[in-house]
Structure 1
């Protein structure tokens, strides 16, 4: 275990995790928000953006400066770090290829992203699904549920909570377990490999999602 976090940090972390799961994983919240939104917003990108808005705002307020500071690590030996990211992308590609062969069809979560992109511009899809969404998830599943949680529970258990939490939040159909297991393992692995720095795992996560969004738009 590492040094304990302050009470303020735990309050911020707990609030962000709670709000994230209430808006993203709790079906009644999604149903209620859908009823409150204008009819034209009740499906596709607008609904996704509305659900993510409050968690993203809290993440930027509570951890924005801390997350931004993580990117200073690229100032030292940037080529070595780019090599680590490149190797992670190769592993991610292999993992996605193997899971794709095993599943034989697109994950339900990716189908949802495809449907959402049909109702918005490319820049908006990139902002939500490529930049802010992954930053929110890395903050929650790596920074909070791994690094910060490891200050109060065994490290191996925090790693398991991080991987399992990330996997379950993306499961909308049975095939999603196979499709997202490589992502959960690789994102967590690079986070640990690179000194628990969110800049690395976010970069790989971002590039992975960028490919998914560009593929979705290429079919429009």
Structure 2
């Protein structure tokens, strides 16, 4: 009988994956292209009402806004996957060697986000809805989940975990102190979601600080596995989508 190419037992599979030659955590040209597009396009979209230009082709402003966001994250996602595909394959294989641990960490991390948010609220007061969050909720209540899920659950979390965890912690920590990179990741991740605020307050930042802190913790705990933090991020966004479609609009607006 021929020997299987990949060990059958989970422990053997994990050992085989971990014994493979480690991947280099140096910044590559592909990383630079992905990061430059993300930062440049995000700055452009923040400073100019790009959705207004799209309304020339798509009269409905909500559909135009979705088209702009989907196009941005689709291009950024393709660039991110191209740059990190080797890490995606390896890290997914590592998670697959311990499926029950992976599947238990994801909901626990989402719960940790909710608890962390409640704890921060005790110090900052009731959280305020950011402009970015209001725009996202506007899309959620106006469009079908069949088009919302690919954007909010698949594309956006992958791009953000690639940028804020894989690059800013995994690769940047080869040059800077790990905890400095973690703090930078947390602050930039939180700040990017409130960049359009005209009147900034800590209460607006609270949900993103809690979410970012848990994602950083999961990423570092998993040995810089951004596919696990991506799964947690996607699960959190999926929960928000499910709640939005399950709860009547009148209650959400109260």
Structure 1 runs not aligned, ≥5 long: none
TM-score by length of 2: 0.75
Render the CA deviation track for 1:6-65: whole Å, top value 9, x for unaligned: 4xx432222211211222243466534642562436543222212323212211222234
Q: Partner of 1:74 in structure 2?
A: 95
Selected match of 1:57 from 78, 89, 95? 78
Number of paired residues?
217
| Change in CA separation of 1:42 and 1:23 when aligned onto 2, cut-off 3 Å | farther
For each residue in 1:172-205, what CA deviation from the matched residue of structure 2 results, as whole angstroms up to 9, or x when unmatched? Answer: 4433211211011100001001111012111111
Aligned positions of 1:154-165 closer than 5 A: 154-165=177-188
Q: Specify the alignment match of 1:215 in structure 2.
A: 243
**1:133-154 Cα shifts (integer Å, max 9, x gaps):** 1011001100011110111222
In structure 2, runs of 5+ residues without a counterpart are: 1-22, 250-254
Aligned-partner Cα distance in 1 for 2:50–2:145: 28
Query: In terms of Rg, which structure is larger?
Result: 2
Q: Determine if the alignment matches structure 1 residue 13 to structure 2 residue 31.
A: yes
The alignment's C-alpha RMSD in Å is 2.6
Q: Secondary structure at the match of 1:40?
A: coil
TM-score by length of 1: 0.85
- Larger relative contact order (CA 8 Å, sep ≥ 6): 1
Q: Is 1:47 matched up with 2:68? A: yes
The 5 A counterparts of 1:106-145 are 106-145=129-168
Q: Which moved more, 1:123-132 or 1:97-106?
A: 97-106
Bigger share in helix: 1
In structure 2, relative to structure 1, the CA distance for the partners of 1:113 and 1:22 (3 Å cut) is same
Q: Which runs of 4+ in 1 moved over 6 A?
A: none
